[in-house]
Amino acid sequence: MSGKLLIFFVLGCSFLFVVDSRRPPIQDDNVEEECEEDDGGGYDSDGRPNRVGATRPPATRQRAEDDWDGVEEPTDDDYLRYENTNQEGICLLERGKCPQGDWRMFKRHNETVCLKIYGTPYNIDHSTAAKICREQANARVMTVDSDEERRWIYSTPLGGNGTYQMMFIAGNRNRECKTNPLIPKCADKNTAFTQYDGTSDHKYIYSRWAPTILNRFLFGGYDDCLVFLTFPHAISLDHAVQDFTCNKYILNTVLCGVTVM
C-alpha cells in the first residue's frame, strides 16, 4: 500500500512541474526596462540622437507661388525675345526699328533715337508733357541735337504750324539755380540747366539759344523749363531755344523720343 502511495506522489509532483514550466513568466514591476543598445550612431549636428532602423525620407518643401528656386537665369536670347514682344501697350523696340507710326530715326553722338512730336488741343504743363510721352510708346521728353532734326521738326504738321509756336524739350533749371539764380554759374545757360536726355551732348541747343532771353521771370518766378521754337524760320538763326515756364500757359506740344537698341 505504501508503495502505491509513493508512486502516486511521484506522478503528482511530475505533473505539477510540467504545468508550472508552461506558465508565462511573471514580469517584476520593479525591474526597469532595458534600453536599446547604442548602435554607435551617436548624435547629429543639432544634438538629436540618431534614429535606429530605417532612415526617414527627406521632407518635401511646399513650393510657394512666388518660389523662384531652381529657375534658370534668362539668357541673352530670352531677353531678346522679351524685348521684341509688345505686352500690355508697353513698347519694347525691335533692334534697329522705330515704333509704329510717323516716328523718325536719327543717329546721335552715342545713341540712335526715334523722335516724334505729340500735341493736344489744350494747353499743357511740363508734367503733362512728360506723361504724354510715357503713354506713347513708353517714350520720354528729349532734346534737339542737330540741324537735321531741326529741319525735320519744321517739316511736321505740329512743328511747322505757326499755331503751335513752341514745344517742350528735355531740360530744366537745376536745383541750385532755382534757389540762388543770381550767382555767376546760374547766369550761364551751360551750367544753369540740367540736361536729363543722355542721348545728346547738348552742344547744339546751347549754340542755338536765344541771345537775349535767359533767367526770365513769368508768373512771379524764373522760367525753369526749356522750349524749342517750332514755327519755321531760317536754320541759320540762333533763336531756337529758350527757357520758359513749366506751368500750363500756351504750349500744346512736346518732343518725345525713344532709344533704338
Domains held by the chain: number? 1
At residue 64, the pLDDT reads 42
In a domain, 32, yes or no: no
Which candidate, 142, 70, 198, places its Cα nearest to that of 152?
142
Within-domain flag for 143: yes
Whole-number pLDDT of residue 15: 53
Q: Could you tell me if 167 and 251 are in contact, meaning their C-beta atoms sit under 8 angstroms apart?
A: yes
Strand 253-260 to strand 166-173: parallel, antiparallel, or no bridges (unpaired)?
parallel
Contacts of 176 (CB under 8 A, 6+ apart): 183, 185, 186
Asked whether residue 215 is domain-assigned, the answer is: yes
**199 domain residue, yes or no:** yes
The answer to whether residue 239 is domain-embedded is yes
Task: Give the C-alpha separation, 185 to 177, whole Å.
Answer: 8
Domain holding 251: CATH number?
Answer: 3.10.100.10
**What's residue 78's pLDDT?**
47
Question: What SS3 state is found at 90?
Answer: strand
In a domain, 254, yes or no: yes
Residue range 208-233, pLDDT digits in tens = 887 655 666 666 677 889 999 887 77
* pLDDT at residue 7, as a whole number: 61
The ranges of the chain with pLDDT < 50 are 18-19, 28-40, 54, 61, 63-71, 74, 78-92
* Residue 211 belongs to domain spanning: 98-260
Determine, yes or no, domain membership for 123: yes
In a domain, 31, yes or no: no
